[in-house]
Amino acid sequence: MKLELGFIQIKDIQFSKECKVENGTLYVNADEVKDFVFKDDDVKACVKAAHFDIAKPGESVRITPVKDVIEPRVKVEGPGGEFPGVIAKVDTVGSGKTHVLRGMAVVTAGKIVGFQEGVIDMSGPGADYTPFSKLLNLVLVCEPVEGVHQHEYEHAVRIAGLRAATFVGELGRAVTPDDTQEFETYGIKEGIEKFPDLPRVAYVHMLQSQGLLHDTYVYGVDAKRSLTTIIYPTETMDGAILSGNCVSACDKNTTYHHQNNPVVADLFAQHGKTLNYVCNIITNENVYLADKMRSSDWSAKLCRLLDLDGVIVSQEGFGNPDTDLIMNTKKIEQMGVKTTIITDEYAGQDGKSQSLADADPLADAVVTGGNANEVIILPAMDKVIGTLDYVDKIAGGHAGSLRPDGTIEAELQVITGATNEMGFNCLSAR
Amino acid sequence: MVKEIERAGIPVVHMCTVTPISMTVGANRIVPTIAIPHPLGNPALTPEEEYALRKKLVTRALEALTTEVEDQTIFEV
Amino acid sequence: MSYRVVHYINQFFANIGGEEMAHVPPELREGHVGPGLAFNQAWKGEAEIVQTIVCGDSYFAEHEKDAKAQVLAWVKEAKPDLFIAGPAFNAGRYGYACANVALAVKEELGIPVLTGMYEENPGADMKEKILIVATTNSAAGMRKAAPAMAKLAMKLMRGEALGASCEEGYMPNGVRKNFFEKERGSKRAVDMLLAKLAEKPFTTEYPMPSFDRVAPNKAIKDLSKATIALCTSGGIVPKGNPDHIESSSASHYGEYCLDGVDVLTAETYETAHGGYDPVYANENPNRVLPVDVMREFEREGKIGKLHNYFYTTVGNGTAVASAKKFAMEYAQKLLQANVNAVIMTST
């Protein structure tokens, strides 16, 4: 399956009367976007009010509580549309041509759970830890209708963000991309014939699916209801997987992370040169022991069935998903397939505790996204998009995290994407 | 604790509910039990039934002690 | 004013001699000796070695207590800002001496310490207790080791926060520190996998904690002749908890006689455990410690004998090291009593 991505570099975002992309600037009429967002019945029923704001790299701006980050895209050729099974109808994506508004994102913010959304600082020390400080962010701040059920509201805000991104992405349909790249993986036999001497490598992509607002969707299917399965890397790149997560901000995979999965990108960079990138195996992180056993058995089984030589395993979240990570790794290694895993650590604020809840000697090749418990001081910003009301309660914060002058003292956990377990960042620990 | 007894040269069977922890700490013979607050009993049963259940579990533990193992083994009941 | 440093070296680096002179007792010299010059040069006057302690490696090994006491006395007198030892490279006894003398200075005198050696030097076993800079395995590596140690030493003297082990050059000491790598994680993972596939060396960023395993003992051949003991971490104790075993973070274990006890009753036994709902165990303590069933098996001749003592403690919140100590102690008692097997129950 071959996908062509056309990158349209966005250099500025401005509010304006009309909506368009021109010479690298995105012009947005906020009311028009809002109208489109609110055309959805669920959004209408659960979201009382919404407004847009813009945050640019280097500004003294803090966005919080952050729910999701989404890259606007539009399908210009080939089957399917953006976010199949959720926004567009179900149809296989990952082939044809998609335009990408690069350098920007739609960020959804506002209270959902209250303690499991994150912080994005556009400047200062916190900005070094989140990749989203480097993007032009169109922020959609939502407020719930009073008395709305948490799950319904999470769904509504998720849809609102995806609709906003879809609307903005559509503005890139007729724009000529600044840069175009092609990505292609092959059928099993075809791949072996093309690259007979290269090791066969796949990516075991673990999806957060613990429920209670810790969910990931694949073509609209809640990942906890699926068995481990195979997906083309280009499908992931084309919006097949999206985040429905309200977990610790530092190591949840936002929709932007899925669209721009760095493991996929770096495996493609070596595809046909040092390795043969076969496919992605997606598996879940459920809460029952039987599910964990079944899903990890299945991962290992597929690795064997595909005659793989090696895999990269990435995790999402921490705690009991550490067991899923170790089960996957151990079982895959026992099939004779070599593994490298990406995780992050909860080694305590002093760095002295055991980093993972589970361990196995077969997990001998580990990449870490850093210790999420390390404490950071985030100085006050001139402007807050959203509200600081939840900073004390956020996972990684504590009573008194928010000082009277607006400074936040908290663990890295509060920062969206700080210790990402797909290896999106350079942060590490020893 | 189980490991120290094993290290002293005495075969030992670990009867516990949370078997993954037992595996991690390194017990070699493991018998899964009923529930954390009543590993060898079940208050929902009649006293006779409960005694029979306990007897079954302990019998399994004795079987574990008389079975040669090479690696960590869970003796399901 | 510059920082003051005391340096510890062995007879070889003091140019006294090799193995044939390893017996020399500790000696105090003013100023720097041997490798100390390299440190002084690296510090460019900001710090200086005021005294050097020279000690033979065999002397230290054979008179560790006396040697340590002498070194401590001199260091205490000198009141330096830092105590530096070695580097010892792959010299086993020298590395052992450097590590142990540095640990003593750190613990007894509260002075920052630093040493250096090859990672396979036996002294490197102390890497989680004192800072040890990783060096090559021979003294030819001095040109690299000295600046690395000098730089870290300066940070210690200035009281600056240390970066991650791989940035600063010290051996991983069990304290995880964040830092920014040059490549992102996914790229590092791909590179690591390619190395692993090609069977080339690679270094994991998080070594899995090592769990020591004990091989299973041989099975019991004849149950009908076996003495079997019951032990528990479920905190079953005689009513009233006579030895006051704590409900959490237990500091000791209990040893109780079962002579004449046919069944545990709610009137005579209870649990001291604070980590689970105690109602069921208090109602019928056999639900945790199955004395009733074991007595029946004993009467039937299915087992030879139920050991007449049981051992008990509370697992709740109890440090692994304590639990290990308890079990080591009573395992010896069980051995002496010729117990053939143990049933351990946990809640």
Partner-chain contact C344 B29, CB within 8 Å: no
In chain C, the number of structural domains is 2
C241 and C273 in contact (C-beta within 8 Å)?
no
As a whole-number percent, the residues of chain A with pLDDT over 70 amount to 98
- What's the rounded mean pLDDT across residues A145-157? 89
- Reading phi first (left if > 0) and then psi (alpha if -120 to 50, else beta), residue A194 is in alpha
* C69 located within any domain: yes
Say which range, A361-365, A407-411, C102-106, has the weakest mean pLDDT: A407-411
- What's the rounded mean pLDDT across residues A210-232? 91
Point out the residue among C217, C303, C347 whose CB comes nearest to the CB of B62: C303
**Could you give the CA distance from residue C338 to residue C332 in angstroms, rounded to a whole number?**
10
**Could you give the CA distance from residue A401 to residue A390 in angstroms, rounded to a whole number?**
10
Instruction: Report pLDDT for C270.
Output: 93
Instruction: Examine the pLDDT at C339 and tell me if it is beyond 80.
Output: yes
Instruction: Examine the pLDDT at C145 and tell me if it is beyond 50.
Output: yes
Partner-chain contact C345 B40, CB within 8 Å: yes
Are both C128 and C248 inside the same structural domain? no
- What's the rounded mean pLDDT across residues A416-424? 97
C327: which residues sit within 8 A by CB, 6+ positions away?
B1, B2, B3, B4, B5
Summarize pLDDT for A377-386 with one digit per residue, the tens.
999 999 999 9
Interface of A with B in 382-421 (CB under 8 A): none
Summarize pLDDT for A52-99 with one digit per residue, the tens.
999 999 999 999 999 999 999 999 999 999 999 999 999 999 999 999
* C238 located within any domain: yes
Determine contact: A293 vs chain B, CB below 8 A: no
Nearest Cα neighbor of A80 from A89, A68, A69 is A89
Q: Which two tokens stand for residue A147?
A: 């008395």
**Could you give the CA distance from residue A170 to residue A172 in angstroms, rounded to a whole number?**
5
Q: Fill in the amino acid letter for B12.
A: V
Instruction: Examine the pLDDT at A115 and tell me if it is beyond 60.
Output: no
| Confidence tier at C85 by pLDDT (50, 70, 90) | very high
In angstroms, how far is the first alpha carbon of chain B from the final one? Answer: 23
Instruction: Examine the pLDDT at A314 and tell me if it is beyond 50.
Output: yes
Instruction: Report pLDDT for C328.
Output: 92
| Confidence tier at A113 by pLDDT (50, 70, 90) | low
Are both C44 and C144 inside the same structural domain? yes
| Confidence tier at A197 by pLDDT (50, 70, 90) | very high
| Confidence tier at A213 by pLDDT (50, 70, 90) | confident
Backbone phi and psi for residue C153, each to the nearest 5 degrees, phi listed first: -60, -40
The pTM score is: 0.76
Q: Where are the beta strands (DSSP E) in C151-299?
A: 178-180, 227-232, 236-238, 254-257, 269-271
Considering C152, C168, C184, which residue would you say is the last residue of a domain?
C168
Determine contact: B24 vs chain A, CB below 8 A: yes
**Could you give the CA distance from residue A180 to residue A72 in angstroms, rounded to a whole number?**
16
Are both C161 and C273 inside the same structural domain? no
Instruction: Examine the pLDDT at C221 and tell me if it is beyond 90.
Output: yes
* C204 located within any domain: no
Q: Where are the beta strands (DSSP E) in C136-292?
A: 178-180, 227-232, 236-238, 254-257, 269-271
- Across all residues in chain A, what is the average pLDDT? 93
Instruction: Examine the pLDDT at C318 and tell me if it is beyond 80.
Output: no
Instruction: Report pLDDT for A211.
Output: 73
Helix intervals (H) in A59-125: none
Summarize pLDDT for C151-192 with one digit per residue, the tens.
999 999 999 989 999 999 999 998 999 999 999 999 999 999
Which residues of C are less than 8 Å from A365 in CB distance?
A: 192-193, 196, 202, 204
Q: Which two tokens stand for residue C61?
A: 């090994």
Q: Which two tokens stand for residue C324?
A: 């290990």
| β-pair type (A310-314, A200-208) | parallel
Considering C168, C184, C208, which residue would you say is the last residue of a domain?
C168
* Integer angstrom CA distances of residue A52 from A32, A110, C176: 11, 12, 40
**Could you give the CA distance from residue A201 to residue C194 in angstroms, rounded to a whole number?**
9
Backbone phi and psi for residue B63, each to the nearest 5 degrees, phi listed first: -60, -40
- What's the rounded mean pLDDT across residues A175-181? 97
Chain-centre distance for alpha carbon B14: 4
**Could you give the CA distance from residue C19 to residue A313 in angstroms, rounded to a whole number?**
52
Q: How many CB atoms lie within 10 A of CB C328?
A: 15
Summarize pLDDT for C198-217 with one digit per residue, the tens.
999 999 999 988 667 899 99
A97 beta partners: A4, A77
Are both C232 and C105 inside the same structural domain? no
Are both C149 and C14 inside the same structural domain? yes
User: Does residue A246 have an active-site annotation?
Assistant: yes
Cis peptide upstream of residue C87 (ω within 30 degrees of 0): yes
Buried (b) or exposed (e) across C12-33, using 16+ Cβ within 10 A?
bbbebeeeebbebebbbeeebb
C55 and C8 in contact (C-beta within 8 Å)?
yes
C305 and C337 in contact (C-beta within 8 Å)?
no
Partner-chain contact B24 A323, CB within 8 Å: no
| Confidence tier at A116 by pLDDT (50, 70, 90) | low
Q: How many CB atoms lie within 10 A of CB A202?
A: 28
Are both C234 and C341 inside the same structural domain? yes
A372 and A318 in contact (C-beta within 8 Å)?
yes
* C193 located within any domain: no
Nearest Cα neighbor of A284 from A238, A346, A338, A328 is A328
**Could you give the CA distance from residue A299 to residue A283 in angstroms, rounded to a whole number?**
7
Q: Where are the beta strands (DSSP E) in chain C?
A: 3-10, 27-30, 47-55, 82-85, 113-118, 132-135, 178-180, 227-232, 236-238, 254-257, 269-271, 305-306, 309-312, 341-345
Which residues of C are less than 8 Å from A422 in CB distance?
A: 185-186
Nearest Cα neighbor of C55 from C29, C74, C27 is C27
**Distance between C266 CA and the closest CA of chain B, angstroms:** 14
Instruction: Report pLDDT for C317.
Output: 45
Instruction: Report pLDDT for B37.
Output: 81
* C9 located within any domain: yes
- Across all residues in chain B, what is the average pLDDT? 91
Are both C21 and C163 inside the same structural domain? yes
Interface of C with B in 233-252 (CB under 8 A): 233-234
* C314 located within any domain: yes
Considering C129, C144, C168, which residue would you say is the last residue of a domain?
C168
Instruction: Report pLDDT for A50.
Output: 95
Which residues of A are less than 8 Å from C184 in CB distance?
A: 262, 266, 423-426
Instruction: Examine the pLDDT at C32 and tell me if it is beyond 70.
Output: yes
Are both C241 and C314 inside the same structural domain? yes
* Domain span holding position C298: 223-345
- What's the rounded mean pLDDT across residues A114-128? 88
- What's the rounded mean pLDDT across residues A294-322? 94
Largest CA-CA distance found in chain C, in angstroms, rounded? 85
**Could you give the CA distance from residue B28 to residue B2 in angstroms, rounded to a whole number?**
9
Determine contact: A352 vs chain C, CB below 8 A: yes
Q: Which residue has the tokens 């912080």?
A: A119
* C274 located within any domain: yes
For helices C36-43 and C142-158, angle between their N-to-C axes, nearest 10 degrees = 50
| Helix, strand, or coil (residue A311) | strand
Q: Which residue has the tokens 């940035």?
A: C167
Summarize pLDDT for C36-62 with one digit per residue, the tens.
999 999 999 999 999 999 999 999 988
Residue from A19, A46, A142, A246 carrying the catalytic annotation = A246
Which residues of A are less than 8 Å from B20 in CB distance?
A: 289, 323
Summarize pLDDT for C224-241 with one digit per residue, the tens.
999 999 999 999 999 999
Element holding B23 (H helix, E strand)? helix B19-25
Instruction: Report pLDDT for C274.
Output: 63
Instruction: Examine the pLDDT at A128 and tell me if it is beyond 80.
Output: yes
Instruction: Report pLDDT for C211.
Output: 66
Residue C234 is given by DSSP the state B
Determine contact: C293 vs chain B, CB below 8 A: yes
Residue C108 is given by DSSP the state I
Instruction: Examine the pLDDT at C249 and tell me if it is beyond 70.
Output: no
Instruction: Examine the pLDDT at A117 and tell me if it is beyond 50.
Output: yes
* C185 located within any domain: no
C98: which residues sit within 8 A by CB, 6+ positions away?
C8, C85, C86, C87, C88, C115, C116, C117, C123
Are both C27 and C162 inside the same structural domain? yes
CATH value at residue C39: 3.40.50.2300
C113 beta partners: C83
Are both C53 and C144 inside the same structural domain? yes
* Integer angstrom CA distances of residue C260 from A141, A240, B46, C333: 73, 70, 26, 21
Are both C128 and C241 inside the same structural domain? no
A20: which residues sit within 8 A by CB, 6+ positions away?
A26, A27, A171
Are both C154 and C75 inside the same structural domain? yes
| Confidence tier at A114 by pLDDT (50, 70, 90) | low
Instruction: Examine the pLDDT at A214 and tell me if it is beyond 90.
Output: no
Which residues of C are less than 8 Å from B51 in CB distance?
A: 292-293
